[in-house]
Structure 1
Amino acid sequence: MSKRGFVGAALAALLLLGTGPIMAGAATAQFGSLGNLGRLGARAAAPRLMSGREPISTSLPDAVWGDPAKDGWAPPGPRRPLTGLRRMANGGFVLQPGSYEFHDQSYCLHAGTHGPGGGEGYLYAPPKGSAQDAVMTIVRNSVAHPEIPQRTIQTLLWAIVARARFEDLSNEHRLVASQLLSQRQLASLNRSALDVLNSGPIANNLPSPLREIAQAEAQLRGMFASGASYGELERVAVLSGRVGRGPGSQAIPAGRWSQHPDGYWVRYLPVSYTNTVVNIWVPPGSAAIGREYDPAVHIAVPGDTARQRLIQSGRAYGG
């Protein structure tokens, strides 16, 4: 996009999203009204939370493609850069036989948990949840917008998983959201925002790990409304220090391969929540040849449920 075109799009988006009191009505129209949501109350919110209505619900039981038979195995032949393959318009890669590696930008989708560490293995699982379409769209469309900082994209994803109101985001973040998402997606996300989990019987009666996540999400919603910095958001979303294994964890060794249903093998080696080394093996004669590896449909799920699930992207880390 030319500089003139970008400026025009930015001005149009700001007019839609609103930048001050004069445009408050336009912002409300763009993102949808929360009037009815405010009257749902705790009794309505609890079933939605506990019945799989989380924005992203992908979890360890969804990661059923792990291949223990390949523990300690290395693909034959040289490992080539994944970026040498032909790319799709949405940032995906057209697979060919061989061994490939890509150091990508990855993103946290589980606020209120710990980052990678402790030699944990990660398994493939697809995005699931009420906001899966918006999350995949942000990650896919970000490939065509290298000018958007990774931190800005991560902030938008935290806003989604925390059910924050997009009216509460800064003008910069709302402008970026308008570049990466459709008006329909923006309005749908805003209508699904829940502000009733920060205190009271719902949060207090949840099991401890779920309660901590719900409280972190509620804290993030308040921080978005108060204009907190990225560092402040990160301290709540990405926990530090020692951590015990979460309930339902599995002993998954680091570097375990997952056999993708399309016919190739993939493994994830997170450096931190912000970047992951992805290895792919496409055997000769595989049905995966000519098919797309779309990072936006890959969530790396840790064997330790106390740690973060990480969505992959087609953006090279440091690139």
Structure 2
Amino acid sequence: MKSIKLICLVFFFQLLCSNTTYAQFGISTDLLKLGASTLGIDKLFKKPAAITTAFEDVNKEGSQMPNFFKLEVAQPLYLLPKAPNGGFILCAGYYEMTNKSYCLHAGTFAPSKGDGYMYAPTNGSKKEIVTAILKSAENHPEIQQHDIQILLWAIIAKTKFIDFSNEVKLTAITLLTKKQLTQLEDGALGFLPDDVINQAKAKLPESVQTVFEAENNIRGLITSGNYTYQEMEKYAILAGFAPPRTDYPSGIWTLHPDGYYVRYIPSGYSVTKVQIYVPKELIISLKGKILIYDATNDIACPANTGSQRLAQTNEPLNPDYSIILKTLCDGVN
């Protein structure tokens, strides 16, 4: 009896996670519902999200309005000395860098000009995986930003590694270790048919339903292996813009836990201008201790919860290395 029950469970699981839709099998809706119930699919829905960072994770203490500091022209951040394990060694001064950034919240609006973004740490069950991808990508310029974004969407959508398309698998294998690849299976889901999705959505808050459905659509596309980037983007990025919050305007400064100030000005979700102000007093107080900015640990988090949260990188876009850095970094070679 136990063997028969186990076979039934495996059968239903394969149906729900199959690369082919349930309609192609001619399976009834009632049977799928029974399968979902038998599997305890509701418990899977409650598993923690891959990345959970939200505006509630932003420490707003010490934050300043956009025009609080009277600063000169910013110097290129990417010209500062490189840190041994990634990122840049900060010196006193005002710096900026336009870098690659990535969407980490499918089913939300792209950034708009009025959106205020603030620093928050990367949290969630896949935070180490996401950080590892962003760090590893620095050493693989041959991998296109779009390919990395699709991999991140696959992870955010809880797609099983075994269901990745060949292209996404190749990107993952290039950027992650074998141990990290096995961790992609934890908390993953297969593509779920419409009736199961609708049943689950009925139990979710309205604000979460769109994200839940978007993630399932992304899983379906990646599993099929037949998609364009534009099709993937259509599900990940909602059309239009979320209304901006005036209490946290664009250009607001966050006091980073390490003592410097940082702000984010996105241009869409794939490009972000990062500006950093390092007070001279901070450098003096460190008494020779090195201060590092490593963007792969940071998320630009929107005050408007309907907008994209953006993973940051240490990869500048269109850098000009002919510029001479004016800052003298005492004690830094």
TM-score (normalizing by structure 1): 0.80
1:269 match: 265
2:203 match: 205
> Quick one: which amino acid aligns to residue 96 of structure 1?
C
The change in CA–CA distance for 1:153 and 1:75 in structure 2 (over 3 A counts) is: farther
1:181 is aligned, of 176, 179, 196, to 176
Unaligned runs of 5+ in 2: 1-35, 320-333
* Counterpart contact for 2:218–2:235, Cα < 8 Å: yes
After superposition, the C-alpha distances for 1:252-285 in whole angstroms (9 at most, x for unaligned) are 1110000001010000000110000000011113
1:220 is aligned, of 207, 218, 221, to 218
Moved more, 283-292 or 222-231: 283-292
Deviation of 1:125 after TM superposition, in Å, equals: 0.2
d(CA) in 2 for partners of 1:185, 1:203: 31
1:41 match: 40
The change in CA–CA distance for 1:79 and 1:297 in structure 2 (over 3 A counts) is: same
Answer with 1 or 2: which has the greater Rg. Answer: 2
Unaligned runs of 5+ in 1: 1-36
Q: SS in structure 1 opposite 2:235?
A: helix
2:88 is aligned, of 86, 89, 93, to 93
The change in CA–CA distance for 1:138 and 1:101 in structure 2 (over 3 A counts) is: same
After superposition, the C-alpha distances for 1:98-153 in whole angstroms (9 at most, x for unaligned) are 00000000000000000000501101000000000000000111111111100011
> Quick one: which amino acid aligns to residue 72 of structure 1?
N
1:251 is aligned, of 215, 237, 247, to 247
2:276 match: 280
The answer to whether 1:83 aligns with 2:78 is yes
d(CA) in 1 for partners of 2:216, 2:78: 39
d(CA) in 1 for partners of 2:300, 2:175: 22
d(CA) in 1 for partners of 2:168, 2:63: 42
* Counterpart contact for 1:143–1:314, Cα < 8 Å: yes
* Counterpart contact for 1:93–1:294, Cα < 8 Å: yes
> Quick one: which amino acid aligns to residue 46 of structure 2?
P
1:313 match: 313
* Counterpart contact for 1:41–1:196, Cα < 8 Å: no
1:162 match: 157
The answer to whether 1:171 aligns with 2:170 is no
The change in CA–CA distance for 1:282 and 1:242 in structure 2 (over 3 A counts) is: closer
d(CA) in 1 for partners of 2:303, 2:246: 5
After superposition, the C-alpha distances for 1:164-184 in whole angstroms (9 at most, x for unaligned) are 122222323212211211111
Q: Output aligned runs, 1:44-63, within 5 Å.
A: 44-48=43-47, 53-63=48-58
1:64 is aligned, of 59, 72, 75, to 59
Q: SS in structure 2 opposite 1:193?
A: coil
2:27 match: none
Q: SS in structure 2 opposite 1:296?
A: helix
> Quick one: which amino acid aligns to residue 269 of structure 1?
I
d(CA) in 2 for partners of 1:38, 1:170: 28
CA RMSD of aligned residues (A): 2.3
d(CA) in 1 for partners of 2:230, 2:275: 30
Q: What is the number of equivalent residue pairs in this alignment?
A: 276
The change in CA–CA distance for 1:225 and 1:318 in structure 2 (over 3 A counts) is: farther
The answer to whether 1:102 aligns with 2:97 is yes
After superposition, the C-alpha distances for 1:58-85 in whole angstroms (9 at most, x for unaligned) are 0010011364544312453441100111
d(CA) in 2 for partners of 1:293, 1:39: 49
> Quick one: which amino acid aligns to residue 301 of structure 2?
V
2:233 match: 234
* Counterpart contact for 1:75–1:281, Cα < 8 Å: no
1:22 match: none
d(CA) in 1 for partners of 2:256, 2:236: 29
Deviation of 1:241 after TM superposition, in Å, equals: 2.1
The answer to whether 1:144 aligns with 2:170 is no
Deviation of 1:199 after TM superposition, in Å, equals: 0.8
d(CA) in 2 for partners of 1:251, 1:216: 29
* Counterpart contact for 1:75–1:99, Cα < 8 Å: no
* Counterpart contact for 1:90–1:141, Cα < 8 Å: no
The change in CA–CA distance for 1:235 and 1:90 in structure 2 (over 3 A counts) is: farther
1:132 is aligned, of 124, 127, 133, to 127
d(CA) in 2 for partners of 1:225, 1:38: 23
After superposition, the C-alpha distances for 1:282-311 in whole angstroms (9 at most, x for unaligned) are 111315772110101110111111100001
